[in-house]
Amino acid sequence: MREWWRGAVIYQIYPRSFCDGNDDGLGDLPGITAKLGYVRDLGVDGIWLSPIFTSPMKDGGYDVADYCDIDPIFGTLADFDRLVERAHELGLKVIIDQVYSHSSDLNPWFRESRQSRDNPKADWYVWSLPQADGTPPNNWLSVFGGPAWSWDPRRRQYYMHNFLPEQPELNFHNDDVQRAILDVARFWLDRGVDGFRLDVANFFMHDPLLRDNPPSGQTDTVKPYRMQRPLHNRSRPETFQFVARLRHCLDEYPERMAVAEIASETPLKDMVDYTDGPERYHTAYTFEFLRDTFSAAHIRTAVSQASRGSPDAWPSWAFSNHDVMRVLTRWGGFEATPWFAKLLIAVLVSLRGTAFLYQGEELGLPQARVPYDRLRDPEGITFWPDYESRDNARTPMPWTAGIAHAGFSTVEPWLPVDPVHIDRAVDRQEADEASPLNFTKRFLAWRKQHPALIGGDIRFFETAEPVLAFERLGEGGRLLCAFNLARTPARADLGFDGTATRLPAPDLPGTVKGRTVTLPGYGAVFARLD
């Protein structure tokens, strides 16, 4: 029996920006629950909720002050339980973010740890004495700028933080920390969640010798972090010891899973390493398709490399999420058409792996523009104006055109609704049969009729740009998938074995004759190979 998550399509919800249920300008759990029918009707298999836990919100909830409670801006544990119950009634799985690498500095664990060098939690975080000249213990840098160390006058030591100073790193070399985190996992599993998305899942361990990182050779003056190779504070081999313990914990609960976020120098290799075998995560995704590069060759090479790494390791793929520029703009520019949005949906959910759709991707939303004085993202503020703020991908979901704030809230929302998004609101797209929204619904329904697209293997054809072509092989036989990634027409001779019978995939014009596919701009063709 195929595990539910293999080949599933998971819809990512950024809770602050999805739906405001109590009209305070912030999205919340009751708002999400009210819109689960919409999510179900898309044809996805589950949802991933970005952090909803008690937090001072220095980094959008990725600074957790209480791992086992809901932040009041989102609601209560009872609201969460109702959301899970309603999702399950609708046949949707629920995955929640888990932020184990670091906590908030307001977390009681850290508050106790910083009081002295000999209290019960003194070693729960990464502490170190200064060097002889008072400088930090080594040259490690924070992703968000500056040293990865901050001075604490109470302990007269430095503590480590890979991100904000308000996000101290937990010390996973301490067995008590590992046990406490596993208790957190069980708390949410006992409440009925179906899985976890593990934030920066390869950041859990650090080099206990605190050796300096070597230079990367890059001269990126905007983000100095990229000028180092973080060999000693990321992707440490010791991490797998905890991964095995977490996997064993998940295996105590039937039908549960974990998807890891992997950010590394060798993302595809690490994606395989972190998912290969029964003591690893079930699946993982990287930033491979969350960057600027867009070509048939790039997609072909990345997916092939992941497949060759291990036949058992199962990849996940995303084109957009809350941390990067929306894919329609990143790969298509601000003039990208709805046809390009449809093509991207079709490509993503046709690849071998589990697919993650980010809220608004089904609407073909372009990147928003948030004025500097409205930014909330600490990374975006620090590196403005040379860095694309993450807030530009986090603006409120446009539900209804023609009313205040596109129906997200009756009051001014935490981030402004981009006027460009209003014309692409849900209500307008629901009334337009040719919209990206209705295409997504039809295509995901059609996909479910073809098991090879869900769990089958993949084999690519060598094609010139801009044609991407592959076959999926599995239950139901062989399925040809060919896409034109450009707005101008393209043809390709694929040289496959057998004969091709075109399948009526929704809204994707293209033909196959003999072994040649003919594709209009942003066209595609699917065919059964006999």
Residue type, 426: V
Distance CA 109, CA 105 (A): 9
Distance CA 35, CA 13 (A): 11
List, as own/partner pairs, every contact residues 271-278 make where C-beta atoms lie below 8 angstroms and the sequence separation is at least 24, other chains included: 271/306, 271/309, 271/313, 271/315, 272/306, 272/309, 272/310, 272/313, 272/315, 274/201, 274/202, 274/243, 275/310, 275/313, 275/314, 275/315, 276/309, 276/310, 276/312, 276/313, 277/312, 278/247, 278/251
* Helix, strand, coil percent values for the chain (each to nearest 5): 30, 20, 50
Q: Which residue in 85, 176, 220, 252 is the catalytic one?
A: 252
Distance CA 346, CA 519 (A): 14
Both tokens assigned to 122: 């003194």
Contact 49, 95 (CB under 8 A): yes
Instruction: For residue 81, indicate whether it is catalytic.
Output: no
- Alpha helices, DSSP H, located in 394-450: 419-422, 426-430, 436-447
Instruction: For residue 475, indicate whether it is catalytic.
Output: no
Distance CA 472, CA 460 (A): 9
Both tokens assigned to 284: 């993982």
CB within 8 Å of 47: residues ≥ 6 apart: 10, 11, 12, 13, 32, 36, 39, 87, 92, 93, 94, 95
Place of tokens 């920390």: 177
Q: Which residue in 199, 288, 377, 388 is the catalytic one?
A: 199
Q: Which residues are catalytic, by number?
A: 199, 252
